[in-house]
A and B are shown apart, each in its own frame.
Chain A
Amino acid sequence: MNYTFDFNSITFAPLLRGLVVSLELTVAANIIGVIAGFGLALLLMSPYRLLRMPFMLFVEFFRCTPAIVQIVWIFYCVPMLFDVFLDPITMGVLALGLNLTAFNAEAYRASIQAVPREQIDAGIALGLNPWQRILHIVFPTAFRASIPVLLTNGIVIFQQSALVAIVAIADLMYEAKSLATETYRPIETFTVVALIYFAVSFPVTQIVGFLERRRQLLAS
């Protein structure tokens, strides 16, 4: 390898500006995903098939299509089909938020269904009514169990957010592409950008690992 790295022309100001936009997208999408995902999980567990079906379809749409297709579709097809025109950032948040909602709903559903039958039996034996059992036993246990998956999904969305660059949202990836073109230094630029994405994501994956180890310890 005889390429000589030259980082002198890389200016950090636009990259940091882009990072802030990426983080904003991530936080907003996570707020949607954590809250709406819970509601969606409950609908997915509805005893009524007809009520369940459309929401299962919603989840499968996001699980079975590439995120980039979802983003492009929401950006170009939704305005034309439904006459809804929103600013790009809002569209980006919506696209990422709906994707995360689908994945978080599955995480919630799995952990609600993983609450041991015995815990519910204990609730019955203590005279708690069905609502009290759900509120005081099932939800708190399930929510705690789903935290590692929610964090993982949340940080995946941070990485997926790079895809919105293709619809001209000025996120970290978008700023990186501009900078690479301006400086003729794509290798340096994308190396720095990769490190920035890594620096944000790595601590979160470490926290997830810690939480999972602690859970195993507590479960034993």
Chain B
Amino acid sequence: MTMSFSLPLVKMQALHKSYGDGAIQVLKGIDIEMKPGDRVVVIGPSGGGKSTLLRVMMGLEQIDSGSISFDGKPYISSEAPAKKTLIDTNVRRSIGMVFQHYTLFPHLTVIQNLMLAPCKVRGEPKASAQARAQALLERFGLGAKARAYPAQLSGGQKQRVAIARALMLDPKLMLFDEVTSALDPELVSEVEQVIMQLASQNMPMMIVTHDMWFAKNIASRVIFCAGGVVVEDGPPEQVLGSPKEERTKEFIDRVFHIKQ
């Protein structure tokens, strides 16, 4: 194999993030390296910094210090004296994100939701964006909903549209932030199946979820995050099955206990 295989896709270095002038520290020095093809599932207690981590990766949050690079290019860094977060938007465009609450644009139809970014950001011709959008919707079993408005869809359908919308920009990494947490239980699997489908095509992804079954099935690697630090990081069998760290074990026991 070539050398580039071992190059990290994402490299986070000493990420620190706090709210209220350092009063509440959410990330206390996170170092994570992600290889191409990694499917990282981040688990951990609420307030442990999981969602913040994804939001920082997307450039939605300011950081106090640290840096993130993507494909060897640093795109998020912090300017030392002013603590101003610098974001390279060109690099960031390679990353797609799906949120807990769908965040579809309510005034646009499903297909317009998919077409907005490619047409406006990349200047793609309408006809081409429309064809790609329709094909993507068909693939996700939503072909018939192209002209519906978000309010006319179920939660599961909305979330699948949100995933399709992110894929329209051909991301090289997908971030999923608790994408099934707001769904009724019977709608969870249709969304998870779509993510599984992406996984089978080797899409690198980082997933924050509370669904341990899903974590077990999709992860190539599980990170247990608590108190703003990475407590444990390893293959799913280890972290979910026989964790080394006491805090991980405690959390896993509690979560699986609730499930049963």
Size of the B side of the interface (Cβ < 8 Å), in residues, is: 27
Residue of A whose beta carbon sits closest to that of B121: A127
B144 to chain A, nearest CB (A): 20
Residue of A whose beta carbon sits closest to that of B152: A218
Known: A121-B55, A126-B169. 14 other contacts (CB 8 A): A118-B99, A122-B162, A124-B58, A125-B166, A126-B166, A127-B92, A129-B89, A132-B121, A136-B105, A136-B120, A140-B107, A141-B105, A141-B107, A218-B149
Interchain CA distance A11-B8 in the complex, whole Å: 87
Q: Does B22 contact A (CB under 8 A)?
A: no
Task: Let me know if B169 and A137 touch, CB within 8 A.
Answer: no
Knowing A118-B99, A218-B151 are in contact, say whether A128-B121 is a contact too (CB < 8 A): yes
Task: Let me know if A126 and B117 touch, CB within 8 A.
Answer: yes
Task: Let me know if A119 and B58 touch, CB within 8 A.
Answer: no
B101 to chain A, nearest CB (A): 6
Q: Report B52-108 residues with CB < 8 Å from chain A CB.
A: 55, 58-60, 89, 92-93, 95-97, 99, 101, 103-107
Knowing A125-B58, A125-B96, A127-B89 are in contact, say whether A144-B121 is a contact too (CB < 8 A): no
Q: Does B116 contact A (CB under 8 A)?
A: yes
A209 to chain B, nearest CB (A): 19
Could you say which residues of chain B place their CB within 8 Å of the CB of A137?
Answer: 105
Q: Report A101-125 residues with CB < 8 Å from chain B CB.
A: 116, 118-119, 121-122, 124-125
Residue of B whose beta carbon sits closest to that of A125: B97
Interchain CA distance A127-B121 in the complex, whole Å: 6
Interchain CA distance A118-B101 in the complex, whole Å: 8
Task: Let me know if B106 and A132 touch, CB within 8 A.
Answer: no
When A and B form their complex, which 3 residue pairs have the shortest distance between CB atoms, in order from nearest? A122-B103, A126-B117, A218-B151
Residues of A near any B CB (own CB < 8 A):
116, 118-119, 121-122, 124-129, 132, 136-137, 140-141, 144, 217-219
Could you say which residues of chain B place their CB within 8 Å of the CB of A144?
Answer: 107
Could you say which residues of chain A place their CB within 8 Å of the CB of B55?
Answer: 121
Task: Let me know if A128 and B105 touch, CB within 8 A.
Answer: no
Task: Let me know if B116 and A136 touch, CB within 8 A.
Answer: yes
Interchain CA distance A119-B99 in the complex, whole Å: 10
Task: Let me know if B121 and A126 touch, CB within 8 A.
Answer: yes
B16 to chain A, nearest CB (A): 21
Task: Let me know if B105 and A124 touch, CB within 8 A.
Answer: no
Q: Does B165 contact A (CB under 8 A)?
A: yes
Residue of A whose beta carbon sits closest to that of B116: A136
B174 to chain A, nearest CB (A): 11
**Interface digits, B239-253 against A, CB 8 Å rule (1 contact, 0 not)?**
000000000000000
B214 to chain A, nearest CB (A): 22
Could you say which residues of chain B place their CB within 8 Å of the CB of A129?
Answer: 89, 121
